[in-house]
Amino acid sequence: MKVFAAALTLLLAFGSVLSAAPAEIVVCSYNIRNYVNAKPAGEGQRFPTKEKSEEDIAALIAIIKEVNPDILGVCEMGTPDRFEDFKKRLAEAGLGYVDSEYVQAADPDRHLALVSRFPIVSRQSATDVSFELNGRVEKVRRGFLDVTVQVTPEYQLRMVGVHLKSKLAVPEGEALIRRHEAQALRKHLEKAMNADPQVNLLCYGDFNDTKNEPMFQEVTGVRGQPNHMSDLWARDELGDRWTHYWKTADLYSRIDFLFASPGLFKEVVKAKSRVYRGTNWEDASDHRPVFGTIVPVNRK
């Protein structure tokens, strides 16, 4: 009788989890612009960095609350204590994230990070990724954030976050570095898809290039092939697709992307792949968040 009662309790608990399983989840990519500590120019840093103001942080948290993502991947996070500050402010805003990932790679100042309302069950982040350029070994400076999230008892989502080389000019050629980083990323994605062709894999982040540049094809692969990654082609309510404003050149461009694996693409609600549009976006960052909606229905 005791065994039956225990089994019944377990069954009811499992049923409760299933009943609470979301019909849709929202995943978001956001370059939050220098959530870092102040740092003067020098020691390898060409320009001084200011600490993000309280007003800018308030605008940032307000935008995230409005989007209300279940999983949020961010670029340009600062030190671990800044990440703790960020998570604390999200909690104070009532956003309720229960798990997180933080990547410490070659860049000492700007990092990839992620928060999730669902538990992370596997962590595959790559902090030491190398490639050869002009006879020298170079590093993917922000590494690759890579976690698998358990959304429901049957459904897992693998999230791979990136922040490729900025447009800041370097002697090696910033565009060439981005292409090599994109090639390294492609190898990372293919390894995951080859291991499980049906994997629900979302690659997101700030790619610092537009879709007409070599970076795009390096990441997506060959159209029509089994491991092709599909751009979710997000837009805002007015149909605009730009995600970044470069004030110096007065230039709007789309350089933040969400890419879905074949296993995931059929579960994406295409009409709900969006770029945030609000009056306060520029107070928070020079980027706008990009987010997509997924129906978690298949075997993982």
Is residue 163, in this structure, part of any structural domain at all? yes
What domain range includes position 234? 2-294
Token pair, residue 182, equals 């994109």
Is residue 136, in this structure, part of any structural domain at all? yes
Is residue 299, in this structure, part of any structural domain at all? no
Percent of the chain beyond pLDDT 70?
A: 89
* Interval 192-220: pLDDT, tens: 999 999 999 999 999 999 999 999 999 99
Q: What's the pLDDT at 11? A: 37
Q: Are 105 and 127 in contact (CB under 8 A)?
A: yes
Is residue 275, in this structure, part of any structural domain at all? yes
Total domains present in the chain? 1
Is residue 300, in this structure, part of any structural domain at all? no
Task: Point out the least confidently predicted range of 40-49, 150-159, 266-275.
Answer: 40-49
Q: What's the pLDDT at 153? A: 95
pLDDT beyond 80 at 21? no
The CB density around residue 34, as the number of other CB atoms within 10 Å, is: 21
Measured CA distances, 261 to 3, 32, 123, 131, 228 (Å): 43, 25, 19, 24, 7
Domain containing residue 75: CATH number? 3.60.10.10
Q: What is the mean pLDDT of the chain?
A: 91
SS3 for 81-138, per residue?
A: HHHHHHHHHHHHCCCCCCEEEEECCCCCCCEEEEEECCCEEEECCECCCEEEECCEEE
170's CB contacts (< 8 A; 6+ apart) are: 177
The CB density around residue 111, as the number of other CB atoms within 10 Å, is: 26
pLDDT higher at 13 or 67? 67
Is residue 73, in this structure, part of any structural domain at all? yes
Percent of the chain beyond pLDDT 90?
A: 82
Is residue 167, in this structure, part of any structural domain at all? yes
45 pLDDT band (50/70/90 cuts)? low
Continuous segment of H or E residues that includes residue 55: helix 54-67
